[in-house]
Amino acid sequence: MEAIELQRELAQKVITEDRLDPIHHVAGVDVAYSKNNDTLIAAIVVLELDSLKIVESVVIEDTVQFPYIPGLFSFRELPPIIKAFEKIKTTPQLVVCDGQGLAHPRRFGLACHLGILYDIPTIGCGKTKLSGNFTEPDQHRGAQSPLIDNCEIIGNVLRTQKNINPIFVSIGHRISLATACQWILELSPKFRLPETTRQADQLVKKTLSLHNHSRS
C-alpha cells in the first residue's frame, strides 16, 4: 500500500534530538469525527507559553477523504490540519498532537508526519496506547516509565497529575523524548492533558456539537 510505503520512507527523516528555537508560542492540534456523516473537524489552538492563554484558534470543517485504517490516521487527519495551518497567523515554535509520534507500529504517527511536513518540533501525546508495553509508573506527578516495542523505547508513559491515569508521550520531530516529557509536564499544570490538547479538544467537540445540532 502506497501510504505504508510513504510512512516507512518518511520515518527515516524524523530527527530524535533537540533542535528547538526559543519557544514563545505552542500549538495544540486535534481532530474529531461526526458520528452521523463523513464530516470531520480539525482545530489548531495557539497558546502563549508564559500564560498558557489562547492567542489564536482556527477550526476547519472538512470531509473524510481517506478510509479508517488503524496506523494510517495521519492520512485522514492531515488534510484538514494543513488547511487550518494555512490560516493561522501566529507561528508556533512547538506543536503538540493529540495522537502518536514514534509510538506507532511503523514509528511514524501523526506527530511525526506533521513535524516532517512543516519541519517543526512536534510531540505526540496520546490519551491511549497504540503500540508497545509498559509498567505502570508511580502515582506521583512527573512519574514515568518507558513504552517498549520490540526491545525499543518508543515513548514514555507519563503521569501528569497525582493518582490520575498517565498519558503516552513520544517524539514527533526535532525533539528528544526527555525534552518532550518536560514540555508536556509544563503544559499540564492542573489537568491530565496538556493545555494545548485540552483546548483543541474542547474546540473540536464544541464545533462538532454545533454542526450536528444545525443538521438535526
176-199 pLDDT tens trace: 999 999 999 999 999 999 999 999
Contact 159, 192 (CB under 8 A): no
pLDDT attached to residue 215:
65
- Between the two ends of the chain, the Cα-to-Cα distance in Å is 38
| pLDDT(78) > 90 | yes
Q: Identify the three-state secondary structure at position 177.
A: helix
pLDDT attached to residue 1:
79
Q: Facing residues of 185 across strands?
A: none
Q: Facing residues of 43 across strands?
A: 30, 59
Q: Which long-range contacts (CB under 8 A, 24 or more apart) does 86-92 make?
A: 87/58, 87/60, 88/27, 88/44, 88/46, 88/56, 88/58, 89/56, 90/25, 90/46, 90/55, 90/56, 91/25, 92/25, 92/26, 92/27, 92/46, 92/120
| pLDDT(35) > 90 | no
As a whole number of angstroms, the distance between CA 73 and CA 40 comes to 13
Average pLDDT, the chain: 95
Q: Considering only 38-42, 51-55, 144-148, which range has the smallest mean pLDDT?
A: 38-42
pLDDT attached to residue 185:
98
How much is the average pLDDT of 47-54? 97
pLDDT attached to residue 212:
75
Cell readout for 170 is 513520544
pLDDT attached to residue 83:
96
pLDDT band at 216 (very low <50, low <70, confident <90, very high): low
Contact 41, 204 (CB under 8 A): yes
105-126 pLDDT tens trace: 999 999 999 999 999 999 999 9
pLDDT attached to residue 91:
95
How much is the average pLDDT of 59-78? 92
